Amino acid sequence: MSFDFDLFVIGGGSGGVRAGRLAASEGGAKVGLAEEYRMGGTCVIRGCVPKKLMVFASAYSGGVADAQKYGWKDAQIGAFDWMHFKGKLDAELTRLENIYRTNLGKAGVEIFDARATVKDAHTVELSTGETFTAKHILIAVGGKPFVPPFEGSEHVITSNDIFLQKKLPKSILIVGGGFIACEFACILNGLGVKVTQYYRGAQVLRGFDDEARGHVADMMRDRGVDLHVGTDVMQIEKRDDGLWVKSSTGHDHTFDAVMYATGRVPSTDGLGLENTGVETGRGGEIIVDDYSQTAVPSIYAVGDVTNRINLTPVAIREGAAFVDTVFHGKPTKADHDLVASAVFTQPELGTVGMTEEEAREKGPIEVYAAAFRAMQTGFAERNDRTLMKLVVCATTRKVLGCHIVAENAGEMIQLAAIAIKMGATKEDFDRTVAVHPTMSEELVTMKTPTRTFN
């Protein structure tokens, strides 16, 4: 049977673009790719890239106070110009999107600016009315923000919308306790917005190391975020002076804006999967095996739509592994073990490996932790405290996890992840000579366990 394409990719995010480009340029495949919004997906258009640029922008306000403590007595900063920043941000995202399109075109991928759905195991239909057959279909449509239904939910914005605002609100309520909620709480606080955050759980950043997440929460409050845990929204009402919010704990207030960051869900609604036999989980995620293959042999899925590890670099690795498996005849599993990540709060949280709580369940461990005021912030008379933490197996001596709360923790954890991925022991860390004076030298100078668990 002949097909219109060897591969048709649905979704122009990081995973789908990498797979499509490699299949065409290295695998010699005829590839089509459909994207209904903008090329680049969540990461480039409404996630990692614009968020990190906002992180950079938000840090300058605190830098002026530090500069004054260091002797720059006349240092000052004016009001933040959101529209100036937004103009440059929009131009940068357009530049990156064009790079994605150019690289796909150079590889020979045919791009369709349309929504694609699946008609059967080998057929996709576009919103333009066109229909194409493909030997293989790769679904890489990512995820979308989830807002629970409640009275007044139509008045809220999500992380997708924050980059599109014509002006910054003077006050905002952020609902949620995950990394997106905490990051934007810190960003907007740094940009001069009065930020309140509600989270219904006992502590923000569920799933991260308990000591580290508690440390981040303390630092967020110290920097001005009005963080309330054990608190949820019951009702929102639009009034003349803003959005009135009724909370579960009686903290009823009016805000200029309310942003929900209560998780993301796979974008599988209306994709036509029911026509194919592709299986989905309770959250709508596409169920795949270790090679990203669905229950239908010709259909694969990578990235956030599978809800495995929802990180851009993971989606890229999954896309490359798919190409190796299908087009190079080299069955390849994407490696989901010991994947490092960073939460770009202020200060940042970098993490790799097991949390202390996870490691306790596996066997005897030693915990090495140091919380201290870093030289730079201490001299500036800031209350920020850095946390460096290693979780060590008491029998094999391998470092099972590393957790850092500090400025630039994301940069530090990338390097620590290499050692831990290679199986470094605590003694390997101890043998490494410290770089002085740095914050990260604590990782190789902690000699005595803070606590042990048998």
Same-domain status, 360 and 380: yes
**pLDDT tens for each residue of 21-52:** 999 999 899 999 999 999 999 899 989 999 99
When pLDDT is averaged across residues 62-71 and rounded to a whole number, the result is: 93
Alpha-carbon span 336 to 301, nearest angstrom:
15
Examine the pLDDT at 376 and tell me if it is beyond 90. Answer: yes
> Considering the domain boundaries, does residue 404 fall inside one?
yes
Instruction: Using DSSP, state whether 77 is helix, strand or coil.
Output: coil
> Considering the domain boundaries, does residue 376 fall inside one?
yes
Same-domain status, 349 and 360: yes
Which of 277, 293, 327 terminates a domain? The answer is 327
Q: Which residues pair with 125 in a beta bridge?
A: 117, 131
* pTM for the structure as a whole: 0.95
For residue 31, give the CATH number of its domain.
3.50.50.60
> Considering the domain boundaries, does residue 148 fall inside one?
no
- The per-residue pLDDT for 189 is 97
**pLDDT tens for each residue of 251-310:** 899 999 999 999 999 999 999 999 899 999 999 999 999 999 999 999 999 999 999 999
Tokens of 115: 């929504």
- The per-residue pLDDT for 145 is 95
> Considering the domain boundaries, does residue 334 fall inside one?
no
Alpha-carbon span 99 to 14, nearest angstrom:
12
Query: Total domain count for the chain?
Result: 3
Distance set, CA 84 to CA 81, 186, 193, 209, 284 (Å): 5, 20, 17, 38, 39
* Element holding 131 (H helix, E strand): strand 131-139
Which of 262, 277, 297 terminates a domain? The answer is 262
Q: Cα-flanking dihedrals φ and ψ of residue 54, to 5°?
A: -70, -35
- The per-residue pLDDT for 409 is 98
Alpha-carbon span 248 to 197, nearest angstrom:
13
Same-domain status, 66 and 179: no
* Element holding 267 (H helix, E strand): none
> Considering the domain boundaries, does residue 99 fall inside one?
yes
Instruction: Using DSSP, state whether 349 is helix, strand or coil.
Output: strand
**pLDDT tens for each residue of 129-183:** 999 999 999 999 999 999 999 999 999 999 999 999 999 999 999 999 999 999 9
The radius of gyration computed from the CA coordinates of the chain, to the nearest angstrom, equals 24
Maximum C-alpha span of the chain: 76
Same-domain status, 290 and 376: no
Alpha-carbon span 354 to 362, nearest angstrom:
10
When pLDDT is averaged across residues 371-391 and rounded to a whole number, the result is: 94
> Considering the domain boundaries, does residue 335 fall inside one?
no
Alpha-carbon span 6 to 256, nearest angstrom:
51
CB neighbour list of residue 62: distance below 8 Å, 6 or more residues apart: 190, 223, 346
- The per-residue pLDDT for 275 is 87
Which residue in 343, 120, 338, 119 sits closest to 219, CA to CA?
343
Same-domain status, 81 and 178: no
Any catalytic annotation for residue 436? Answer: yes
Examine the pLDDT at 1 and tell me if it is beyond 80. Answer: no
Tokens of 330: 């080299």
DSSP designation for 337:
S
Question: Taking a C-beta distance cutoff of 8 angstroms, is the pair 152, 235 a contact?
Answer: yes
For residue 413, give the CATH number of its domain.
3.30.390.30
Share of the chain above pLDDT 90, in %: 96
The number of residues making up the chain comes to: 454
Same-domain status, 94 and 37: yes
Same-domain status, 347 and 236: no
- Residue tagged active-site, from 136, 328, 403, 436: 436
Same-domain status, 289 and 241: no
Same-domain status, 312 and 377: no
**pLDDT tens for each residue of 115-133:** 999 999 999 999 999 999 9
**pLDDT tens for each residue of 169-224:** 999 999 999 999 999 999 999 999 999 999 999 999 999 999 999 999 999 999 99
Domain range spanning residue 285? 5-143+265-327
Q: Cα-flanking dihedrals φ and ψ of residue 380, to 5°?
A: -80, 5
Tokens of 166: 């014509």
Instruction: Using DSSP, state whether 256 is helix, strand or coil.
Output: coil
Tokens of 440: 């990260």
Same-domain status, 220 and 319: no
Same-domain status, 65 and 181: no
Alpha-carbon span 227 to 204, nearest angstrom:
9
Tokens of 345: 């709060």
Which residue in 28, 39, 184 sits closest to 103, CA to CA?
39
Mean pLDDT over the full length of the chain = 96
